[in-house]
Structure 1
Amino acid sequence: MNNDNRSGLLRIRLLRGHNLAIRDAPTRSSDPYVVITSANQKFKSRVVKKNCNPEWNEEFTLSVTDVNTPIKLAVFDKDRFTKDDGMGDAEIDIKPYMECLNMGLENLPNGCVVKRVQPSRSNSLADESPCVWNDGKIVQDMTLRLQNVECGEIMIQLQLFNVSIFRGRRTYSLA
């Protein structure tokens, strides 16, 4: 079975930002928020005022039908009277995560690392990103290094749920 035979709902937990760029000179801080887009889906986090190390702890659910469709994450500084300032962007690569799902694993102990994804030029990872078995599901923690900006990282977590596998004319659900 290849990755193109899977679809489902991808939960992205937007956890926090670290060392985000300063865009408000008078307060030496920023008012960051995150926009996540994929295909025709778009989600926006809440604004965290005056904080370059924001804690969002928000969840967004995207419908995934093609692992080759990029999931983009962009950070902005909310401004009251002018256009919001860009604070960097990153792409979320879900292919390694989907490879873990395709292993067909069952009954592993909680906390078992299924795969370790290394940072490379082809992804936005700042650190090693483990795919971990947890309560019958695989979860991937990621620290994304923001691009097109002087500094900043975003921490997220991925989990696919309500997965369907298409075989011929039948659909099997792995909720």
Structure 2
Amino acid sequence: MDSLFGLLRVHVQRGINLAVRDVNSSDPYVIVRMGKQKLKTRVVKKNINPQWNEDLTLSVADPNLPVKIFVYDKDLFSLDDKMGDAEFDVKPFIEAVKMHLNKLPSGTIITTVKPARDNCLAEESRVVWENEKVVQNMILRLRNVERGEVELQLEWIDIPGSRGL
């Protein structure tokens, strides 16, 4: 247990303009992976702008591992269709958590991550102090697909007894 830093809550908010994989829509769900961990949202039927609003919680033992996102279309009688993937680096977020900030006004921007070739951000992502917590909102542009984005929010959860940040 001592190799665990804490928990990363990934709030999978929504998909935006996802690819059509069935006749005129898709039944999308998201898989979030970090190292050997794999978590999945529910399927939203017939919707290319799904609202998942689901929290998936990853244990972070190695902050250098990227978090990978895969979007699939649920099919009943065949393999689920790929609807793109993305990944993001948790290091800027974890660096902000490590600052152990408190007593900041809610909404204070700690750091920003700009879209770049080596990330999947669709727009600038801000790490913000909000309601006594460090959170990061991001919109990821899906790769290996004609279109689509996924909106997420990260939140850090300290575990009593873990080595923490």
Output the CA distance in 1 between the equivalents of 2:64 and 2:118: 13
Deviation at 1:165, TM superposition (A): 9.5
Find the counterpart in structure 1 of residue 115 from structure 2. Answer: 119
Deviations 1:72-130 (A, max 9, x none): 11000011111110000000211111121222322100011111111011111001101
Please, what is the CA RMSD of the aligned residues? 1.9
| 8 Å CA contact 2:27, 2:46 repeated in 1 | yes
- Report the equivalent of 2:105: 109
Which of structures 1 and 2 has the larger relative contact order (alpha carbons within 8 angstroms, sep 6+)? 2
TM-score, scaled to structure 2: 0.92
TM-score (norm: length of structure 1): 0.87
**Structure 1 regions of 5+ residues with no counterpart?**
none
- Which of 6, 9, 16 aligns to 2:7? It is 9
Aligned residue number for residue 21 of structure 1 = 19
Question: What is the rounded CA distance, in whole Å, between the counterparts of 1:119 and 1:165 in structure 2?
Answer: 36
Secondary structure at 1:61 match in 2? strand
- For the 8 Å contact 2:15–2:151, the answer to whether it is kept is yes
Number of equivalent positions: 163
Q: 142, 146, 151: which is aligned to 1:146?
A: 142
Structure 2: runs of 5+ lacking an equivalent: none
Identity rate of aligned residues, in percent?
Answer: 52
Farther off after superposition, 148-157 or 109-118: 109-118
Higher strand share: 1
Residue 78 to residue 6, structure 1, CA distance change in 2 (3 Å): closer
User: Which whole-Å CA distance do the structure 1 matches of 2:91 and 2:64 have between them?
Assistant: 8
Letter in 1 for 2:74: K
Higher Cα radius of gyration: 1
Contact 2:65 2:89 in 1 (8 A): no
Matched, 1:32 2:28: yes
